[in-house]
Amino acid sequence: MRLHGNRRIGSLFSDVGVLADAIGRAREAGDVTVWLNATTDVVCSDVGSAPNLSAEYLLGTYGIGTQVADIQQDLLVFRDERCAGAIVF
């Protein structure tokens, strides 16, 4: 079953294990593109229906062969690189 549109997975500041598992489940139906929106929501959609994204918001594209541990590592790197200056309360 395809995603049919954009789906919010969680916040970038959520537990990365939970986010990675959710992305892992989403990619079981086919390749997904994952990005961050302006309010730090992690969003995914089928590759063909993802919006045109600036590289600074794009987390990655994942297929059925992608390991959840790799997705989790990407989330950690993305959080560290892109949000290092953010203050979280």
Q: What is the extent of the structural domain holding 30?
A: 7-82
H/E stretch holding 7 reads strand 7-11
Query: Is the four-CA dihedral 50, 52, 58, 60 of positive or negative sign?
Result: positive
pLDDT score recorded for residue 49: 81
Within-domain flag for 15: yes
Q: Answer yes or no: is 47 within a domain.
A: yes
- Give domain status of residue 87, yes or no: no
Q: So what's the pLDDT on residue 57? A: 87
pLDDT digits over 10-61, tens only? Answer: 998 899 999 999 999 999 888 999 999 888 899 999 888 888 888 888 899 9
How many domains is the chain partitioned into structurally? 1
Give the other-Cβ count within 10 Å of 80's Cβ.
9
User: What pLDDT, on the 0 to 100 scale, is given for residue 6?
Assistant: 87
Please identify which residue in the block is written with the tokens 């390749």. Answer: 31
pTM (whole model) above 0.75:
yes
